[in-house]
Amino acid sequence: MRLTPILLSLVTVSLAAPANYFDDAYDFSDELSDYYSKVSQYINRVKKSTSPSASCDTSKISLPSFASGLPAPNGTKPMYVALGRGTQNYTCADSTSASTPFAIGAVANLYNATCLAANYPDLLESLPNIAYKISLPTTEYATFPPANLELIGHHFFTSTIPEFNLDTTEAKQFGVALTKKESSLNAPSTAVKGEYGAVAWLYLSTIEGTVGNYKGVYRVNTASGSPPDTCEKMPSSFEIQYSAVYYFYGS
């Protein structure tokens, strides 16, 4: 039931905002204008439709086609889809070109994009391209602009284990996926690179300790997040902003 308000608020924002607002806030780009033009098309379609499908039928969810380079979900089913927004963290042994950045994990908020994935997958596909430049809300449970998505969890590393914790409030306990990287795929050449490149697409399987029916997690539609090739002039630890879409599959 949420889709129409989401889309309408997007359009309201874009119509209300003067062009230079986006210049300052989001670095107006071709991606962004493409995004908003898609939104307008969807709005028109929703308006024309006599029975606008505002449902979140997870059986309609499928991975973007480029993810066919990762292990297929086989018998598992899509459970949730989340927009991830945060940082990839790295360390450098020194500040010379002789050493390379070492990935120490990610810290990201996860926002509920299940409805978008079920109904408007290509809209969701381009969302990380602008999301990685948008600051996280300072209030913990605030929705994430520009699509007003609700917080559904947090992604972080517990020592070296990628964790997706979908328990937020007392009323919203959706479990915890503890994972292990199984497979990675270089982001497509069309990915938005940010300063140094988009992080790889991934397939992670769940491991012991997982709470809930999660079997696998896909990280796709990545934007930015990669480190420079070498540590030249880099500090001993640093963060690179990124965004991605996470698909949670299970039984």
Ligand X SMILES: *[C@@H]1O[C@H](CO)[C@@H](O)[C@H](O)[C@H]1NC(C)=O
Q: Which is nearer to ligand X, 17 or 107 (CB)?
A: 107
x/- track of binding to ligand X for residues 138-167 (CB under 6 A): --------------x-------------x-
74 binds ligand X (CB under 6 A): yes
**Cα distance between residue 46 and residue 206, in whole Å:** 37
* Residue selected from 89, 210, 226, 243 as contacting ligand X according to rule CB under 6 A: 89
Question: CA-CA distance, 250 to 240, in Å (whole number)?
Answer: 30
**22 versus 154: smaller Cβ distance to ligand X:** 154
State yes or no: residue 116 binds ligand X (CB under 6 A).
Answer: no
The pair of three-digit structure tokens given for residue 222, joined into one six-digit string: 């990545």
Give me the helices (H) in the chain, please.
Answer: 3-16, 19-26, 30-48, 114-119, 121-131
Quote the least distance from Cβ 168 to ligand X, whole Å.
8
Q: Extract the tokens encoding 77.
A: 């089913």
How far apart are alpha carbons 130 and 125 in whole angstroms? 11
- Shortest distance, position 23 Cβ to ligand X, whole Å: 25
Nearer Cβ to ligand X, position 31 or 89? 89
Tokens of 209: 């300790």
- What is the residue whose two structure tokens read 């039931």? 1
Whose Cβ is closer to ligand X: residue 26's or residue 238's?
238
Query: Given the rule CB under 6 A, which of 15-23, 112-120, 184-192, 225-233 is the region that contacts ligand X?
Result: 112-120
Determine the Cα angle at 166 with ends 133 and 110, to 5°. 10
Asked if 174 touches ligand X (CB under 6 A), the answer is: yes
Bridge-partner residues for 153, per DSSP?
110
Is residue 179 a contact residue for ligand X (CB under 6 A)? no
Do residues 31 and 126 touch, judged by C-beta distance below 8 A? yes
Give residues in contact with ligand X (CB under 6 A): 2, 56, 71-72, 74, 80, 87, 89, 104-105, 107, 112, 114-115, 152, 166, 172, 174, 216, 239
